[in-house]
């Protein structure tokens, strides 16, 4: 069996690592991949959004199954293109991926299907957006409607910051056309959690809970990033909260998408704010989270291949998922300067020593091979996962691995997993 993984981040390395352990013993390919993925797959130099060449490659190589990591190829219609050529592919179709690709589409779905979320209004005109801001006041959240690499949601503590956000998004077009429309919404408080599920459009098969750490600095300070660390399970998602998320968010969304004529297949990711045991939805994503996928995949005991196939063949009701009980903590190591500008090509040392720490698994993100050495090649560079008998041990293992790795300018947060520890200590 031949499997192609589309993407090049830590999420994609973790999924490929999991596929490599399948009893199906698949032959693995990655497009374009990274230095870590190159150890277990044949990396091909086709970018994740080069759909025409990806379809041709899959067709010529007779790839049996393709798995898509990032959102951009999904919103560009990679799944539709593969299906049109009779190729099996896992992911949301273009129309269904609007659940992530357009925040106004997602919010309107939430309103129509009574999914609990922040109150909101949608604007195409900056003057009207600002007049609305003046009416409702701060704190408030301003979001670019389209995709903005996780940076398009701006939490504004003051009215002035909200006006600036409108200027940046709608007038300076910091996110390009993604900012021709904005969603302005109520600012929610509470603790965030990520809830991911496989779905074939009918059955919703939840994964274990997880939690991301978006801001760049410790104690959630500084600008948002794609995610600086994650852990699973997230204690804030109690059994009761889990049931509410399934009943009020996941099932209505999948049923609603089908009713709207956009049947949803793939991974549905809900980013939630939980307060006093009540979950409210911040956003949907049409794919695995990064870095949430890393601890989730590390904890997944079931073979992934039959799950992907069951989603594609729309027989997910036949599948169950087993999870290892050990908590897993993923610390992201990033280039100095990220999420702003940063240098590439720094030589990374200590990878083998870190990988030999018991309970540590490392997934690469922005890495490349240069003259036989692993060098930095992106903002988020490595994901060091610690697995332990409890969250405390998982955190200790992860940081024992992290401390063995070095490159010039490396940056990571020192408090990944702390919220889970604090909650368990309550
Ligand atoms: P999003 O791209 O919608 O997930 O937003 C990115 C981050 O912005 C979230 O993870 C939250 O930390 C924050 N955020 C988004 N929407 C809200 C909201 N309505 N209230 C408070 N924080 C929010
Ligand atoms: N970690 C957040 C995301 O994948 O969107």
In a domain? residue 389: yes
Question: Residue 196: nearest ligand to its CA?
Answer: 2
In a domain? residue 100: no
By most ligand atoms within 8 Å of CB, the mutation choice from 147, 232, 269, 380 for ligand 2 is 269
- The Å distance, Cα 236 to ligand 2 centre, comes to 18
Residue 283 has pLDDT above 80, yes or no: yes
What is the largest distance, in Å, between two alpha-carbon atoms of the chain? 60
Same domain (yes/no): 181, 195: no
In a domain? residue 131: yes
Same domain (yes/no): 312, 202: yes
- The Å distance, Cα 153 to ligand 1 centre, comes to 6
Q: Residue 425 has what pLDDT?
A: 82
Same domain (yes/no): 173, 218: no
Q: Average of pLDDT values for 119-135?
A: 93
Same domain (yes/no): 250, 205: yes
Angstrom distance (rounded) from CA 187 to CA 182 = 15
C-alpha to C-alpha distances, 387 to 186, 208, 293, 328, 373, nearest whole angstrom: 37, 15, 14, 4, 27
Residues with CB under 6 A from ligand 2: 150, 212, 226-227, 285, 289-290, 292
Same domain (yes/no): 226, 292: yes
Same domain (yes/no): 225, 161: no
Q: Residue 223 has what pLDDT?
A: 86
What pTM, to 2 d.p., does this model score? 0.95
- The Å distance, Cα 161 to ligand 1 centre, comes to 15
pLDDT tens digits, 333-359: 999 999 999 999 999 999 999 999 999
- The Å distance, Cα 142 to ligand 1 centre, comes to 9
- The Å distance, Cα 270 to ligand 1 centre, comes to 12
Q: Which atom of ligand 1 is nearest to the CA of 285?
A: 4
Q: Residue 389 has what pLDDT?
A: 97
Asked whether 262 and 96 are in contact (CB, 8 A), the reply is yes
Return the percentage of the chain with pLDDT > 90, whole number.
Answer: 94
- The Å distance, Cα 35 to ligand 1 centre, comes to 32
Confidence of residue 149 (pLDDT cuts 50, 70, 90): confident
Confidence of residue 269 (pLDDT cuts 50, 70, 90): very high
Q: Which atom of ligand 1 is nearest to the CA of 271?
A: 4
Residue 424 has pLDDT above 90, yes or no: no
pLDDT tens digits, 157-186: 999 999 999 999 999 999 989 889 999 999
Take atom 5 of ligand 1 and give the residue whose Cα is closest. 153
- Report whether residue 185 contacts ligand 1, using a CB cutoff of 6 Å: yes
Residue 282 has pLDDT above 80, yes or no: yes
Of 87, 31, 26, the closest CA to residue 60 belongs to: 87
- Report whether residue 145 contacts ligand 1, using a CB cutoff of 6 Å: no
Q: Which atom of ligand 1 is nearest to the CA of 118?
A: 19
Q: Residue 98 has what pLDDT?
A: 97
Annotate 2-17 with b (16+ C-beta within 10 A) or e (fewer): ebbbbbbbbbbbbbbb
- The Å distance, Cα 52 to ligand 1 centre, comes to 34
Residue 426 has pLDDT above 80, yes or no: no
Residue 15 has pLDDT above 90, yes or no: yes
Same domain (yes/no): 311, 374: no
Angstrom distance (rounded) from CA 176 to CA 183 = 15
- The Å distance, Cα 338 to ligand 1 centre, comes to 19
In a domain? residue 102: no
Asked whether 54 and 31 are in contact (CB, 8 A), the reply is yes
Q: Residue 151 has what pLDDT?
A: 80
The CATH number of whichever domain residue 375 belongs to comes to 3.90.600.10
Q: Which atom of ligand 1 is nearest to the CA of 189?
A: 21
Domain end: 318, 343, 360, which one?
A: 318
Average pLDDT value for the chain: 96
CA dihedral 331, 150, 96, 166 (to 10 degrees): 160
Same domain (yes/no): 173, 199: no
Confidence of residue 205 (pLDDT cuts 50, 70, 90): very high
- The Å distance, Cα 78 to ligand 1 centre, comes to 27
Same domain (yes/no): 30, 86: yes
The CATH number of whichever domain residue 288 belongs to comes to 3.30.470.20
Q: Which atom of ligand 1 is nearest to the CA of 187?
A: 20
Domain end: 318, 346, 378, which one?
A: 318
In a domain? residue 48: yes
Domain total of the chain = 4
Q: Residue 349 has what pLDDT?
A: 98
Same domain (yes/no): 341, 397: yes
- Report whether residue 155 contacts ligand 1, using a CB cutoff of 6 Å: yes
Q: Residue 116 has what pLDDT?
A: 98
In terms of residue numbers, what domain contains 411? Answer: 328-417
Question: Residue 210: nearest ligand to its CA?
Answer: 2
Same domain (yes/no): 217, 311: yes
Residue 81 has pLDDT above 90, yes or no: yes
pLDDT tens digits, 229-256: 999 999 999 999 999 999 999 999 999 9
As a whole number of Å, the end-to-end CA separation of the chain is 49
Q: Which atom of ligand 2 is nearest to the CA of 285?
A: 5
pLDDT tens digits, 25-78: 999 999 999 999 999 999 999 999 999 999 999 999 999 999 999 999 999 999
Residue 150 has pLDDT above 90, yes or no: no
In a domain? residue 360: yes
Take atom 5 of ligand 2 and give the residue whose Cα is closest. 289
Q: Where are the beta strands (DSSP E) in 117-265?
A: 120-123, 140-144, 153-156, 182-186, 191-199, 204-206, 211-212, 215-217, 221-224, 229-232
Q: Residue 152 has what pLDDT?
A: 86
Same domain (yes/no): 18, 77: yes
- The Å distance, Cα 250 to ligand 1 centre, comes to 18
């Amino acid at each position: 069996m031949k499997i192609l993984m589309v993407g090049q981040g830590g999420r994609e390395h973790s999924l490929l690592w999991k596929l490599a352990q399948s009893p199906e013993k698949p032959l693995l390919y990655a497009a374009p991949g990274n230095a870590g993925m190159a150890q277990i797959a044949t990396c091909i130099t086709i970018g994740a959004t080069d759909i025409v060449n990806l379809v041709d490659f899959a067709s010529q190589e007779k790839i049996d199954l393709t798995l898509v990591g990032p959102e951009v190829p999904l919103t560009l219609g990679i799944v539709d293109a593969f299906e049109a050529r009779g190729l099996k592919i896992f992911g949301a179709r273009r129309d269904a991926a609007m659940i992530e690709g357009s925040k106004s589409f997602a919010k309107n779905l939430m309103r129509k299907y009574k999914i609990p979320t922040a109150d909101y209004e949608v604007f195409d005109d900056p003057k009207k957006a600002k007049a609305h801001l003046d009416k409702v006041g701060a704190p408030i959240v301003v979001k670019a409607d389209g995709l903005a690499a996780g940076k398009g949601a701006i939490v504004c503590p003051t009215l002035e910051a909200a006006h600036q956000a409108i200027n940046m998004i709608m007038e300076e077009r910091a996110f390009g056309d993604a900012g021709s429309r904005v969603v302005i919404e109520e600012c929610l408080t509470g603790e965030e959690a990520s809830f991911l599920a496989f779905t074939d459009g009918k059955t919703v098969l939840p994964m274990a809970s997880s939690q991301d750490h978006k801001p760049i600095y410790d104690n959630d300070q500084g600008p948002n990033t794609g995610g600086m660390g994650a852990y699973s399970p997230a204690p804030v998602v109690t059994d009761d909260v889990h049931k509410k998320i399934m009943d009020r968010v996941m099932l209505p969304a999948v049923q609603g998408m089908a009713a709207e004529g956009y049947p949803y297949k793939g991974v549905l990711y809900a980013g939630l704010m939980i307060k006093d045991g009540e979950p409210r939805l911040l956003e949907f994503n049409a794919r695995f989270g990064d870095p949430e996928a890393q601890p989730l995949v590390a904890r997944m005991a079931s073979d992934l291949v039959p799950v992907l196939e069951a989603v594609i063949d729309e027989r997910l009701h036949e599948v169950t998922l087993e999870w290892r009980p050990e908590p897993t903590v993923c610390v992201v190591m990033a280039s100095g300067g990220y999420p702003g500008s940063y240098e590439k090509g720094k030589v990374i040392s200590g990878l083998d020593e870190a990988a030999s720490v018991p309970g540590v698994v490392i997934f690469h993100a922005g890495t490349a091979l240069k003259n036989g050495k692993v060098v930095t090649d992106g903002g988020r560079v490595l994901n060091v996962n610690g697995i332990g008998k409890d969250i405390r041990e998982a955190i200790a293992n992860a940081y024992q691995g992290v401390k063995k790795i070095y490159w010039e300018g490396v940056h990571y947060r020192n408090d990944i997993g702390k919220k889970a520890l604090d909650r368990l200590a309550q």
